[in-house]
C-alpha cells in the first residue's frame, strides 16, 4: 500500500543527512523502523554512527539490525534526531505519541542540534487536532488528572492494550488520548496542559522540527522552515 512505500521513501531520504561520526537520535514508530533498515545498510557499508533510541522497541530493533547504540547519559550532544509524527502543520508543529513513546522522544528530540521528521503525506494537516492528542500522566490519581484535562472541553480516553490491560509507557506511566478536534494555538495549549498536576508531557512538539520529509507517490518532498 502507498503509505508503506511513502514511509520507506521518507525514511531512506532522512538517512542521507547522516554523516560518519554523528550521534543520531532514533525516533519511534513504523516510519522510523523503515529508516533503521536503510541506516543499517549504510552501517554495514562503513558509516560510523552511534544511535540514541527513544524507546525500548527502537533500541531492540536497532541492536538487532547492528546499529551501534550509546547510553544517552554518557553523550554530550545529539547531532541529529530522526523521528516520525502523527500530524504536521504548516509551521512544523507536531502531534506525536501515537506509539506511546512521546516522553523519551521529546527529551532526545529537544536535545538534538537538528530534528528531521519523516512522514507519509497523509500526516500533513492545515491545523493540528484531528488526531487525538496523547498526554502522558502519572498513574496515581489518573482520574483526577483526566478531569482536569476534561475542563478544556475534551473527553480524555485512557489508552488500553485490551479491555483488561491499561497501556503503560516505557517510563511506567499512563497515556490519555484527548480528541481536541481543532487546536488553534498548539504552543499555548501545551503550556496550559503541562502545568496541570499529574501531567508529565504532551504530544504537542512545537517549534522543534527543522526539516520535514514527506513521502508521496514514492517520491519525497523535503520541506524546511
Contact range with ligand DER by CB under 6 A, out of 65-73, 93-101, 140-148, 180-188: 93-101
* 3-state secondary structure labels for all residues of the chain: CHHHHHHHHHHHHHHCCCCCCEEEEECCCHHHHHHHHHHHHHHHCCCCEEEEECCHHHHHHHHHCCCCECCHHHCCCEEEEEECCCEECCCCCEECCCCCCHHHHHHHHHCEEEEEEEEEHHHECCCCCCCCEEEEECCCCHHHHHHHHHCCCCCCEECECCCCCECCCCCCCEEEEECCCCCCCHHHHHHHHHCCCCEEEECEECCCCCEEEEEECCEEEEEEC
The separation between CA 160 and the C-alpha centre of its own chain, rounded to angstroms, equals 19
Report the residue number whose CB is nearest to ligand DER: 29
Contact range with ligand DER by CB under 6 A, out of 78-86, 151-159, 172-180, 209-217: 78-86
**Distance (Å, whole) CA 211 – CA 225:** 7
> Closest CB to ligand DER among 48 and 60?
60
Binding residues with ligand DER: total (CB under 6 A):
16
Which residues are 51's β-sheet partners? 24, 69
Q: Which of 59, 87, 105, 136 is catalytic?
A: 105
Does position 83 interact with ligand DER (CB under 6 A)? The reply is yes
Distance of closest approach, residue 98 Cβ to ligand DER, in angstroms = 3
Does position 9 interact with ligand DER (CB under 6 A)? The reply is no
Distance of closest approach, residue 115 Cβ to ligand DER, in angstroms = 12
Does position 96 interact with ligand DER (CB under 6 A)? The reply is yes
Which of positions 28-47 make contact with ligand DER (CB under 6 A)? 28-31
Annotation: binding site for substrate: 28-31, 83-86, 96-99, 123
> Closest CB to ligand DER among 148 and 200?
200
Which of positions 154-183 make contact with ligand DER (CB under 6 A)? none
Which of positions 103-132 make contact with ligand DER (CB under 6 A)? 105
- Strand pairing of 94-95 and 204-205? antiparallel
Active site (catalytic) residues? 105
Residues that bind ligand DER (CB under 6 A): 27-31, 83-86, 96-99, 101-102, 105
Amino acid at each position: 500500500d502507498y503509505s508503506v512505500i511513502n514511509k520507506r521513501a521518507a525514511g531512506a531520504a532522512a538517512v542521507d543527512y547522516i554523516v560518519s561520526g554523528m550521534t543520531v537520535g532514533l525516533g519511534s514508530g513504523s516510519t522510523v523502523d523503515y529508516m533503521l533498515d536503510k541506516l543499517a545498510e549504510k552501517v554495514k557499508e562503513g558509516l560510523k554512527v552511534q544511535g540514541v533510541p527513544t524507546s525500548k522497541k527502537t533500541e531492540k530493533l536497532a541492536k538487532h539490525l547492528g546499529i551501534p547504540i550509546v547510553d544517552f547519559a554518557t553523550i554530550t550532544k545529539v547531532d541529529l534526531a530522526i523521528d516520525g509524527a502523527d500530524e504536521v502543520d504548516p509551521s512544523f508543529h507536531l502531534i506525536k505519541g501515537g506509539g506511546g513513546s512521546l516522553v523519551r522522544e521529546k527529551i532526545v528530540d529537544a536535545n538534538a542540534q537538528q530534528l528531521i521528521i519523516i512522514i507519509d503525506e497523509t500526516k500533513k494537516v492545515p491545523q493540528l487536532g484531528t488526531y487525538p492528542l496523547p498526554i502522558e500522566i502519572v498513574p496515581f490519581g489518573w482520574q483526577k488528572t483526566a478531569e482536569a484535562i476534561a475542563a478544556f472541553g475534551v473527553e480524555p480516553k485512557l489508552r488500553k492494550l485490551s479491555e483488561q490491560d491499561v497501556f503503560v509507557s516505557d517510563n511506567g506511566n499512563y497515556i490519555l488520548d484527548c480528541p481536541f478536534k481543532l487546536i488553534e494555538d498548539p504552543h499555548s495549549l501545551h503550556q496550559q496542559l503541562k502545568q496541570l498536576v499529574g501531567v508529565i508531557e504532551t504530544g504537542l512538539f512545537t517549534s522543534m522540527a527543522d526539516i520535514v520529509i514527506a513521502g508521496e507517490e514514492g517520491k519525497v518532498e523535503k520541506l524546511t522552515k
